Structure 1
Amino acid sequence: MQLDRVDLKLLEMLQQDGRRPVQALSEEVHLSARATLNRVRRLEAEGAIEGYRALISRSAMGELVSVFAEIALKDQRQSAIQRFEKRMAATPEVVACYVISGRYDYIARIACPHLNHYHQLINAWLDDTALGVEKIVTNIELQTIKEFTGFPVPRE
């Protein structure tokens, strides 16, 4: 995918505010509204823009316990990995999950209404022998310094 200076600027602006009107975008990139809309649609069609969503305030959800769980699997066969990843993707409390290198296989960010809920969740994973979880190390978030707001957009 070839991205020029205008594409990068549009991606940066839309990442900051996905509801920014096309007219405002066009003024920033010095193109007509039609040309800007065509570029945004091309960026969407080519997959540079995967979608749009609202960032919901954590306080609006009530007090949530946010946990980072380092997870090691007993079984590294593809079938076991697929089973585990399917479960993570289907669990609403798992708000992010990544394959990592090092001592553990995955790191998951988990949001629960209380610590007991988290404990029940991971106990179910550990008790499910088909899931193949060997070990979970829990790190409780004490304070958020910087939340993910998007990827850095390269400068030309």
Structure 2
Amino acid sequence: MQLDRADLKLLELLQRDGRATVQALSEAINLSARATLNRVRKLEAAGVIQSYRAMLQRAALGEQVVVFAEIALKDQRQAVVQRFERRMAATPEVVGCWVVSGRYDYLVRIACPHLADYHRLINAWLDEAALGVEKIVTNVELQTIKEFQGFPVPR
């Protein structure tokens, strides 16, 4: 899909506030409300806009330990990789998971109420031979300087 300047501006605005009204969006991009709504629907239909979410204040959920775990697999066969990736996708405590280059295969961001919960979680992964985890290196998040707020939109 070819994105023009108005589409890019809409994407930028919607990343900042997914609940913005069509009227507010139309004023920001200088189009009619109908034309703006049509553009938003087209972006949704094309999959450019995948979903809308609420950004939660983490402190409202209670104290949490957040860690970045660098995970290396013992085995790179597709069946093992797919099994591991399915487990990461299905684990609620896993709030982000990326395939990375370098000494480790994955960078996984995990949020747990207590460090003991994290320890139980990773021990279960290490104990499950079929999951194929060789090594986990833990980096505890001490302070969040900037949380993900959307991708940069080209100007």
Give the letter for the 1:127 counterpart. Answer: D
Pair 1:146 & 2:135 matched: no
Q: Distance in 1 between matches of 2:99 and 2:142?
A: 23
In structure 2, stretches of 5+ residues that fail to align are none
| 1:130-141 correspondence runs (5 A) | 130-141=130-141
Q: Which residue of 2 aligns with 1:65?
A: 65
Pair 1:94 & 2:94 matched: yes
CA deviations over 1:112-151 (Å, ceiling 9, x no partner): 0000000000000000000010000000000001111000
Q: Which residue of 2 aligns with 1:104?
A: 104
Q: Which residue of 1 aligns with 2:7?
A: 7
Q: Which residue of 2 aligns with 1:77?
A: 77
Q: Distance in 1 between matches of 2:146 and 2:59?
A: 16
In the superposition, the TM-score normalised over structure 1's length comes to: 0.99
Q: Distance in 2 between matches of 1:8 and 1:76?
A: 39
Residue 60 (structure 1) shift? 1.0
Pair 1:19 & 2:19 matched: yes
Q: Distance in 2 between matches of 1:15 and 1:150?
A: 6
In structure 2, the residue corresponding to 1:130 is in which secondary structure? helix
Pair 1:114 & 2:118 matched: no
CA deviations over 1:38-89 (Å, ceiling 9, x no partner): 0000000011100001011101110000000000000000000000000000
Q: Distance in 2 between matches of 1:29 and 1:55?
A: 24
In structure 1, the residue corresponding to 2:139 is in which secondary structure? strand
Instruction: Provide the identity percentage.
Output: 77
Q: Which residue of 2 aligns with 1:124?
A: 124
Aligned residues: 155
In structure 1, stretches of 5+ residues that fail to align are none
Q: Which residue of 2 aligns with 1:36?
A: 36
Cα RMSD between the aligned structures? 0.4
Q: Distance in 2 between matches of 1:94 and 1:24?
A: 35
Q: Distance in 2 between matches of 1:128 and 1:16?
A: 41
In structure 2, the residue corresponding to 1:63 is in which secondary structure? coil
In structure 2, the residue corresponding to 1:146 is in which secondary structure? coil
Structure 1 residue runs of 4 or more that deviate by more than 6 Å after TM superposition: none
Q: Distance in 1 between matches of 2:86 and 2:49?
A: 24
